[in-house]
Amino acid sequence: MGKYKNYLMEQEDRYWEIADKEIGNCESLGEFMQTMDRYKDLLTFIPQDEDPEVYIEDMLSDMWSDKWAKYQEQAIGEGYEHNDY
């Protein structure tokens, strides 16, 4: 069972590595989710009490939010704050 568990964990790691690369190529959360839908077969472990689709969407949404939060922090730190006033 140990080898199979390692295989499943490697597949999940691969999914998140792909997500980390693809996120920069997407212009919206919807596009990101659609792109990652191609790779969802790599995710074989989903908590039993979770709906698989909701779980994946929540994780990708969190990843998207984190990406843009870091981008905003970097832009503000570099003096690129934008005001619509």
Mean pLDDT by 10 residues, the chain (85 residues): 88 95 95 96 83 91 91 74 54
User: Tell me, what's the pLDDT at 82?
Assistant: 56
Compute the C-alpha angle 24/45/51, nearest 5°.
Answer: 85
CA angle 32, 38, 43 (to 5 degrees): 95
Confidence at residue 78, expressed as pLDDT on a 0 to 100 scale? 72
pLDDT computed for residue 66 by the predictor: 93
pLDDT of amino acid 28: 94
| Cβ pair 33, 57 in contact under 8 A | yes
Identify the burial level of 60 via C-beta atoms within 10 angstroms of its C-beta, where 0-12 means exposed, 13-18 middle and 19 or more buried.
buried
